[in-house]
Amino acid sequence: MAAFGAVLAGQAPGPGKTKTPFQSRSASTISYSVKDGEETVDINNVAYQLADDFAPGRPPDSRLVVRSTTRSKEILGEKGIDGTVTLEAWPLGADLQGKARYTVKVPGVGVATVESDLWVVDRALNPDVNWWSVYNLATGRRLFDTYVDLLRFSISRETLTQRYAGLEVPSDDTSDARLKEPHVIAVLTYASAEKVVREALIACDDRERAVLLHSYWDSSRQLALVEGAAGRQALRISISANYPSPANTVVISIPIAKDDLDLAHAELPAGFHAAAFRR
């Protein structure tokens, strides 16, 4: 499911330019009100962090000031929350009253940073469906969505080569007609902090079973890093039908080779397929 957002170019002190001392203050607030017996809670949370700046053209020792603002409104007793997350970043020493390097605004209920590389926005406005949108922290660029916990790992034992993986379950209102095809179950994403390296479209020949495994409410999913054949790393997808249906867990294993998904050696049950996918 694609997120909406705006990315705005900002002014930044370049290499060798003087950094300006500053102080910034933003208020976090909570309010509770009652009208006609309806209880409403409004929360505004603001957080600052300092992160490494890996944007192209920036000095290797430069830093970013990043600010996240989460606004939510909840009517107690009703299902769901109205919420918005705003992400902003400035090179350290830039005027925080000036234009940010980028501004991203997206529906959500919370946000976290990962490894000074990523923003991970919690998109679960509906408590029945857990999902997250992942953004590059240095540029504000959206990378992918995932409906399981973001998986992070290193593909090298000798040096830290960080990679990330997620599993998207396309929504019915997706604008991509390919993802509306009834045999499609999910999209596996393999990415670095800078870009999506590979996506794999998971599908099933049995239409009725595909619909069941695609359902947010009728099935549960897990994504894990495992050791496959010859000691190679592999991403293992497990999808099970929820109670009261029999679990009938489907397990799909896709090896990682040469910093990419090795779809040619994927292990899938009969009738299931994993194919390279590009948006």
**Per-residue confidence (pLDDT) for residue 77, from 0 to 100:** 87
Mean pLDDT across 101-106: 97
Mean pLDDT across 116-121: 94
pLDDT(3) > 50? no
Residues 6+ apart with CB under 8 A from 195: 143
**Per-residue confidence (pLDDT) for residue 213, from 0 to 100:** 96
**Per-residue confidence (pLDDT) for residue 209, from 0 to 100:** 95
Q: Let me know: does 143 contact 196? Beta carbons within 8 Å.
A: yes
**Per-residue confidence (pLDDT) for residue 11, from 0 to 100:** 43
Domain extents in the chain: 1-10+22-144, 147-279
pLDDT(8) > 70? no
**Which residue has better confidence, 54 or 190?**
190
153/162 Cα distance (integer angstroms): 6
pLDDT(17) > 80? no
**Per-residue confidence (pLDDT) for residue 58, from 0 to 100:** 77
**Per-residue confidence (pLDDT) for residue 196, from 0 to 100:** 98
Token pair, residue 61, equals 């020792």
Mean pLDDT across 5-29: 58
* Global pTM value: 0.87
Which tens digit of pLDDT belongs to each residue from 229-258?
Answer: 777 899 999 999 999 999 999 999 999 999
Mean pLDDT across 180-190: 97
31/228 Cα distance (integer angstroms): 52
**Average per-residue pLDDT in the chain?**
90
Mean pLDDT across 151-162: 89
**Per-residue confidence (pLDDT) for residue 7, from 0 to 100:** 43
